[in-house]
Amino acid sequence: MTADPVPSRRPGAAGDPVPVHRPGAAGDPVPVHRPGATGDPAPARRSRRHDPGRRDRLIDATLRVIAERGVAGTTHREIARAADVPLGSMTYHFGSLDEVLAEAFTRHAEAAAKVFDERLGAATDRDGAIEAVITLVRDDLLGSPDDLVLAVELYVAAARNPALRAVTQGWMQRSRRALERHFDPTTAREVDALIEGLVLHSALSTDPMTPDQIRHAIERYLR
């Protein structure tokens, strides 16, 4: 865990997006993966060269590992195992573990913000916006426990790592901005905080709030 200078070596020194590799065949999902039905011993020697989209799959795998084992349990080896790629592939695609984490969290925050935008963008009046907020919390946020764990993990990681703090900031800003399309800035900020609290409490409570209770809390505040 070091966020020092020098993003590390890596082939494509100057800023090209994907590490290197040429265009090649079209990017079908999961190019090779598990051999199919082989005996357990002898892990087999698969041709795995030229796998475009591997970097993306690595980030997906990272999010899965974080949700399952927490940031503390997220290692190069664990991610590589989850994505079924060799360990060396990690240092090839990413300069450091911090870089992987930051990119994974960025992607997650991006996706979450998108849901926020969509839900609230569909509303045309204030009542619709209130319904949208309720749906958002009840179905999207509380509906996927993995996302919830990811959020908490992101919070605590952000408390320590400035690069991640920027991600958290951006996320918060975007959700607040979405709320401001329907409510005044003060209300937006307060509702945002309320949502945060409701989600967190529900996530950690053995006696989680019911959908009706969620609805009640939000309506009480907004009406």
Partner DNA sequence: TGGTCATGCGTACGAGCGTACACATGATGC
Partner DNA sequence: GCATCATGTGTACGCTCGTACGCATGACCA
Which residues sit at the interface with a second copy, rule CB under 8 A?
Answer: 1, 69-73, 149, 152-153, 155-156, 158-160, 165, 168-169, 172, 186, 189-190, 192-198, 200-201, 203-206, 209, 213, 216-217, 220-221
14 backbone dihedrals φ, ψ, rounded to 5°: -65, 170
**Cβ at position 151, least distance to DNA in Å:** 22
Q: Which is nearer to a second copy, 51 or 192 (CB)?
A: 192
Q: How far apart are CA 117 and CA 175, in angstroms?
A: 7
The token pair that represents 95 in the structure block: 């300069």
Q: Among residue numbers 13 through 72, which ones bind DNA (CB under 7 A)?
A: 19-24, 45, 47-51
The four Cα atoms 170, 175, 176, 177 give a dihedral, to 10 degrees, of 90
The only residue of 33, 34, 77, 201 in contact with DNA, by rule CB under 7 A: 77
Question: Taking CB within 5 to 8 Å according to partner kind, which of DNA, a second copy, none is near residue 198?
Answer: a second copy
**Cβ at position 135, least distance to DNA in Å:** 38
End-to-end C-alpha distance for the chain, whole angstroms: 46
70: left (phi over 0), alpha (psi -120 to 50) or beta: left
